[in-house]
Amino acid sequence: MTKRFYITTPIYYVNAEPHIGHAYTTIVADVMSRFHRLMGYRTHFLTGTDDHGDKIAQAAAEAGTDPKSYADRISNLFRETWPKLNISNDDFIRTTDPRHIKTVQYILQKVYDQGDIYFSNYKGLYCVGCERFYTERELVDGKCPDHDKKPVEREEANYFFRMSQYQDWLISYIRENPDFIQPERYRNEVLSFLREPLEDLCISRPIQRLSWGIPLPFDDRYVTYVWFDALINYLSALGYPDGDLFREYWPVSRHLIAKDILKPHGIYWPTMIRALGLPPFRHLNVHGYWKTEEGKMSKSHGTVVRPLDLLPVYGLDAFRYFLLREMVFGLDAGFSEEALVQRLNADLANDLGNLFSRTLAMTAKYFQGKVPPFGSDPDENDRALLAQRDQTTVDFLEEVPRFAFHKALISIWALINAANKYIDQVGPWQLFKDPGKADRLRTVMRNLLEVNRLTAVFLTPFLPDTAEKMLHRLGISKAASDVRFEEDGRWGTLREGAPVDKGEALFPRVDSAQKQGAKRPTVPKKEEKTPDTVPIDTFRTLDLRVGVVKEAHNVPKSQKLLRLIVDIGEERQVVAGIAQWYKPADLVGKQVVLVANLQPAKLMGVESRGMVLAVQDGTALRLIAPAEPVAPGSRVS
């Protein structure tokens, strides 16, 4: 039996351009699809746009156009964005597609005929932003929690779906199927909504008030209300009620959303599916929110981060890596370009980029750029490296299916760092000098080449471009999407004698000098041996500034440390190990040189954001300062 995988993203409203929140969900769905393809699954990956509703009609009116032209334009923006982010979706559905309209009308008629849709008067509190009625209980200080606005009173005759009669079934289903809604906090949230009696769901709008929707097949004075229309896309894209895709993929369906639309997906949708007599979707995976430094992204405050603005500066894979490494799936995360630069320079350019270029440069030098055979039997260093390879393989296979991408990446980086350490410990350049060690050198270099190849295989779901580039340069001409773990995840599959290509650096560094340091600590870095030379760009990643010491204090319980407040155009607290050589009072007013973009660290519980430079003179230590006083904040270059 072929293994199958079906994943969907929300269909995004066409009232706003794609931003990093949309990009994140879609990239996560892409990683999961690519991972399952790598594992030999037949996969189907669906995304699309939600074209109907009040909000879109309003946005179109504000833009001076009709809803359809407006929806076409923004929907196309989404459609055109995804290939630029390397999204491998199999289908793109719009709620204005005839195939969708057909399925929605079929379902409405079926549910109506069986008596689960009825007509009634309804009076309630309505939020225009959410396009739904709210109960008093759901409001926070009388306001919609999402839009911070008071809902308006509205009364109208409408059609309702008998959602309430499925409440007990839904509670037991969620209780009996712990992996139905994940992570657990969102499962609990849905169960807690369900502790209160569920009301029936209003599913229509009178056509005079909203004509931009799908007409009810049994009453053309009404159109469907947003959720009854939108949620059905997950079935209409499979060709429900007929179709091979439906039969093949519905039993393994998985929806991916953020926490904002938990209730429609965790409550409305399973009850709708139940009314249709279908088995529920298999899993709902819910992630948190990306926030910018200003808080929630908002168009009106100009705090929306658009992925296409970032790509030319940082490159696609740095962007994908950052999103996947930084967010713990299920929790909120902060987005800042400083943190992105930090990850790019440290993890990609430094750790991964160095390993790859060192390995290829040594292969070029010692083996004329050809993959050597394995030589002597493994020794202790080899075994440590292979143990990390095994651990990373286990982590990769366990963590990705759980959406714990950050953990999978941390483990891949543990392998990269183990290989960098292996180079430093084994010193292939010394083996090269000794003809008696040629056999050992073959093993060492082959191990390194295999680690690089396996790293590329692990990276195929996350960073498909980089993975493919790495494979090509290791002499394997395979597209990332053709890599299969069963075959390519095995050790030792490089072809002996295959030519490797030294090429350029995988990730050019981005100068963070203007960004005033990173805000977030990252994974602990491997110990670096000082290389013989560094490119000028490496030096430029350091943001060295002249500052004036404003305050200096002893750090309690420490003989060595002083806490300094240094003016570098802004005030910085740094902790320096100079107490043996300087008294606090001697330092105030002195000029010093500060590494301003060093990762923040805590020393004896005191935060240090930077490092002052000093020179060792015998047993004494002397601070470094410019020969003539300069303005605080001046850059050292």
CB 318 within 8 A of CB 344: yes
Q: Where are the alpha helices (DSSP H) in 315-437?
A: 316-326, 337-343, 353-367, 380-399, 405-426, 428-433
| Known active-site residue 296 | yes
State whether residue 95 is helix, strand or coil.
coil
297 binds ligand ME8 (CB under 6 A): yes
Using the rule CB under 6 A, give the single segment among 4-12, 34-42, 172-180, 184-192 that binds ligand ME8.
4-12
Q: Measured from the CB atom, is 12 or 133 closer to ligand ME8?
A: 12
582 binds ligand ME8 (CB under 6 A): no
CB 286 within 8 A of CB 259: yes
290 binds ligand ME8 (CB under 6 A): yes
Report d(CA 350, CA 507) in Å as an integer.
8
Active-site pick, 299, 301, 529, 583: 299
Closest approach of ligand ME8 to the CB of residue 288, in Å: 7
50 binds ligand ME8 (CB under 6 A): yes
Closest approach of ligand ME8 to the CB of residue 31, in Å: 14
Q: Where are the alpha helices (DSSP H) in 132-180?
A: 167-176
Closest approach of ligand ME8 to the CB of residue 229, in Å: 9
Using CB under 6 A as the binding rule, the residues of this chain from 474 to 533 that contact ligand ME8 are: none
Q: Measured from the CB atom, is 11 or 578 closer to ligand ME8?
A: 11
Q: Measured from the CB atom, is 129 or 251 closer to ligand ME8?
A: 129
Report d(CA 328, CA 269) in Å as an integer.
26
| Known active-site residue 22 | yes
| Exposure b/e, 44-54, CB count within 10 A at least 16 = b | bbbbbbbbbbb
Closest approach of ligand ME8 to the CB of residue 18, in Å: 9
| Known active-site residue 130 | yes
Using CB under 6 A as the binding rule, the residues of this chain from 212 to 271 that contact ligand ME8 are: 230-231, 233, 257-258, 260-261
Active-site pick, 144, 421, 469, 526: 144
Q: Which of 21, 270, 428, 610 binds ligand ME8 (CB under 6 A)?
A: 21
Q: Which of 5, 6, 25, 100 binds ligand ME8 (CB under 6 A)?
A: 25
- Count of residues of this chain found to bind ligand ME8 when the rule CB under 6 A is applied: 19
| Known active-site residue 100 | no
Rounded to whole angstroms, what are the CA distances from 269 to 199, 229, 247, 284, 330?
Answer: 14, 11, 19, 11, 20
Report d(CA 408, CA 450) in Å as an integer.
19
Active-site pick, 84, 296, 301, 583: 296
Rounded to whole angstroms, what are the CA distances from 224 to 80, 232, 250, 260?
Answer: 28, 11, 24, 21
Hey, CA dihedral for 198, 200, 204, 210, is it positive or negative? negative
Report d(CA 601, CA 613) in Å as an integer.
16
Report d(CA 258, CA 246) in Å as an integer.
25
Encoded tokens for 232: 């059905």
| Known active-site residue 55 | no
Closest approach of ligand ME8 to the CB of residue 129, in Å: 10
45 binds ligand ME8 (CB under 6 A): no
Q: Which of 7, 11, 85, 216 binds ligand ME8 (CB under 6 A)?
A: 11
Closest approach of ligand ME8 to the CB of residue 261, in Å: 5
Report d(CA 575, CA 556) in Å as an integer.
12
Which residue's Cβ lies closest to ligand ME8?
21
Helices 67-84, 20-38: inter-axial angle, 10-degree rounding: 50
| Known active-site residue 202 | no
Q: Measured from the CB atom, is 96 or 233 closer to ligand ME8?
A: 233
Report d(CA 461, CA 169) in Å as an integer.
37
Closest approach of ligand ME8 to the CB of residue 16, in Å: 7
Q: Which residues bind ligand ME8 (CB under 6 A)?
A: 10-13, 21-22, 24-25, 50, 230-231, 233, 257-258, 260-261, 289-290, 297
- Cite the active site residues: 19, 22, 127, 130, 144, 147, 296, 299
